Structure 1
Amino acid sequence: MAMSETNFTGASSEYGTLPVLKEERQLGLFDHSLVNIGIAVATWAFLLGGTTAMFVGAWDGIAAIIIGNIIGVSIVSVSVCLGTSKYGVEQFTFARSVFGRVGVLLLVCIFLAIYGVGWSSVLSIMFGRAISEVTNSTMATGIGPNDIGVTWLAMVAIVVSWVLLWKGPTAVKWLNRIVGPGKLILCAGILLLLFGEKSWSTIAAAPALQPFDDPKTNFMVAVEINLAASFGWWPILGNISRFTKTPRAALWPNLVGIFAAAVVGETIGLLAALSLGNFDPTAWMIPLGGAVIGCSVLLFIGLANITAIVSIFYGMCLAMRQAGGRYFENIPWGILTGALFIPVIVVSFFPAQVYDKFFVFLAWTALGFAPLSGVTAVDYILLRRGRVNTRDLYSDAPEGDYAFWGGVNWIAFVALFVGGIVYYALFNPMSLTAHNALFNWISASVPSCLVAGLVHYVLTKRFLRGSRTGGYPA
Structure 2
Amino acid sequence: MAGSATNFTGASSAFGTLPVLKEERQLGLLDHSWVNIGIAVATWAFLLGGTTAMFVGARDGIAAIIIGNVIGVAIVSVSVCLGTSKYGVEQFTFARSVFGRAGVLMLVCIFLAIYGVGWSSVLAIMFGRAISEVTNSTAGTTIGPNDLGVTAFAIIAIAVSWVLLWKGPTAVKWLNRIVGPGKLALCAGILILLFAEKSWSAIAAAAPLQPFDDPSTNFMVAVEINLAASFGWWPILGNIARFTKTPRAALWPNITGIFAAAVVGEVIGLLAALSLGNFDPTAWMIPLGGMTIGVIALLFIGLANITAIVSIFYGMCLAMRQAGGRRFENIPWGVLTGALFIPVIIVSFFPAQIYDNFFVFLAWTALGFAPLSGVTAVDYILLRRGQVNSRDLYRDEPGTDYAFWGGVNWIAFIALIVGGLVYYALFNPLSLTAHNALFNVISASVPSCIAAGLVHYVLTKSLLRPGGRGGYAA
Q: Distance in 1 between matches of 2:177 and 2:27?
A: 17
* 1:452 and 2:449 are equivalent in the alignment: no
**1:3 — aligned with what?**
none
Query: What aligned pairs does 1:200-239 form with structure 2 within 5 A after superposition?
Result: 200-239=200-239
TM-score (norm 1): 0.94
Question: C-alpha distance in 1, partners of 2:45/2:60?
Answer: 17
Matches within 5 A, 1:360-439: 360-439=360-439
Change (3 A) 1:356 1:107: same
Q: Find the aligned partners of 2:339 and 2:25 in 1 and give their Cα distance.
A: 32
One-letter amino acid matched to 2:154? A
Q: Which runs of 5+ in 2 are unaligned?
A: 1-9
1:179 corresponds in structure 2 to 179
CA separation in 2, counterparts of 1:169 and 1:456?
33
Call closer, same or farther: CA 1:33–1:166 in 2, change over 3 Å. closer
Deviations 1:317-375 (A, max 9, x none): 12211232223111222221122112112211221221232111111110000000000
Task: Look up the equivalent residue of 1:37 and give its one-letter code.
Answer: I
Query: What amino acid is aligned across from residue 396 of structure 1 in structure 2?
Result: D
Structure 1 letter corresponding to 2:44? W
Do the aligned residues in 1 keep the contact of 2:55 with 2:218 (CA within 8 Å)?
yes
Letter in 2 for 1:294: G
Corresponding residue for residue 139 of structure 1: 139
Secondary structure class of the residue paired with 1:213: coil
- Tell me whether 252-261 or 89-98 shows the greater mean CA deviation: 252-261
Tell me the amino acid that sits aligned with residue 148 of structure 2: I
User: Contact conserved, 2:15 with 2:333, CA < 8 A, in 1?
Assistant: no
The one-letter code of the counterpart of 2:132 is: S
Q: In the alignment, what sits opposite 2:321?
A: 321
Asked if 1:61 corresponds to 2:37, the answer is no
Q: How far is the alpha carbon of 1:39 from its aligned partner?
A: 2.5
Secondary structure class of the residue paired with 2:132: helix
Q: Which moved more, 1:59-68 or 1:450-459?
A: 450-459
**Aligned residue number for residue 463 of structure 2:** 463
Which consecutive unaligned segments of at least 5 residues does structure 1 have?
A: 1-9
After superposition, what is the alpha-carbon deviation per residue over 1:147-192, rounded to whole angstroms, capped at 9, x for unaligned? 2221222122222222332343454455434322221111111111
Pairwise CA distance, 1:13: 4.7
Structure 2 equivalent of residue 285 of structure 1: 285
CA RMSD of the aligned region, Å? 1.7
The residue aligned with 2:7 is none
Report which stretch shifted further, 334-343 or 194-203: 334-343
Distance 2:88 2:448 in 1: 29
Quote the sequence identity (%): 87
More divergent stretch after superposition (217-226 vs 128-137): 128-137
Aligned to 1:4: none
- 1:225, distance to aligned residue in structure 2 (A): 0.4
Instruction: Flag the 1:438–1:133 CA change in 2: closer, same or farther, 3 A.
Output: same
> C-alpha distance in 2, partners of 1:118/1:267?
24
Alpha-carbon distance change, 273 to 11 in structure 1, aligned in 2, over 3 angstroms: farther
Structure 1 residues 74-99: Cα deviation after superposition (integer angstroms, max 9, x where no partner): 11111111111222211111100000
Aligned to 1:5: none
TM-score between both structures, scaled by the size of structure 2: 0.94
- State whether residues 101 and 396 of structure 1, in contact with CA within 8 Å, keep that contact through their aligned partners in structure 2: yes
Larger displacement relative to structure 2 (180-189 or 156-165): 156-165
Conserved in 2, the CA contact under 8 Å of 1:80 and 1:234?
A: yes
Question: Which amino acid is 1:17 matched to?
Answer: T
Within 5 A, what are the aligned runs for 1:151-170? 151-170=151-170
Distance 1:357 1:430 in 2: 9
Change (3 A) 1:325 1:365: same
Distance between the aligned counterparts of 1:21 and 1:190, measured in 2? 42
Bigger CA drift: 187-196 or 248-257?
248-257
Q: Which whole-Å deviations, capped at 9, do the CAs of 1:228-258 have from their partners, x for residues lacking one? A: 0110111111112223333333223322222
Q: Tell whether the 8 Å contact from 2:121 to 2:348 is kept in structure 1 after alignment.
A: yes
Q: Which residue of 2 aligns with 1:338?
A: 338
In 2, Cα distance between equivalents of 1:334 and 1:248: 33
Shift of the alpha carbon at 1:302? Answer: 1.9
Q: What corresponds to 2:92 in structure 1?
A: 92
Distance in 2 (alpha carbons) for counterparts of 1:158 and 1:22: 32
Separation in structure 2 between the aligned mates of residue 139 and residue 410 of structure 1, nearest angstrom: 57
Query: What is the identity, as a one-letter code, of the residue corresponding to 2:443?
Result: S
Cα distance change of structure 1 residues 59 and 293 upon mapping to structure 2, 3 Å threshold: same
Shift of 1:473: 1.1
Letter in 1 for 2:102: V
- Verify the 8 A CA contact 2:33 2:253 in the aligned structure 1: yes
CA distance in 1, matches of 2:85, 2:308: 23
Q: Per-residue CA shift, 1:374-412, capped at 9, x if unaligned?
A: 000111111112111111011121221101111111111
Measured at CA, do residues 175 and 22 of structure 1 come closer, stay the same or move farther in structure 2, by a change above 3 Å? Answer: closer
Give the structure 2 partner of residue 17 of structure 1: 17
User: What CA distance in whole angstroms lies between the structure 2 residues aligned with 1:397 and 1:151?
Assistant: 46
> What is the CA-CA distance between 1:36 and the residue it aligns to?
2.5
Deviations 1:429-467 (A, max 9, x none): 111011111111110000100111111111111211133
| CA distance, structure 2, for counterparts of residue 397 and residue 297 of structure 1 | 53
Q: Answer yes or no: is the 8 Å Cα contact 2:378–2:457 preserved in 1.
A: yes
Counterpart-to-counterpart distance in 2, 1:172 and 1:388: 31
> Structure 1, residues 296-320: CA drift from partner, whole Å, max 9, x if none?
2222222222222122111211221
In the alignment, does 2:107 pair up with 1:104?
no
CA contact (8 A) 1:466 1:473 kept: no
* 2:305 counterpart residue number: 305
**Counterpart code for 1:459:** L
SS of equivalent residue, structure 1 residue 465: helix
Higher deviation after alignment, 163-172 or 78-87:
163-172
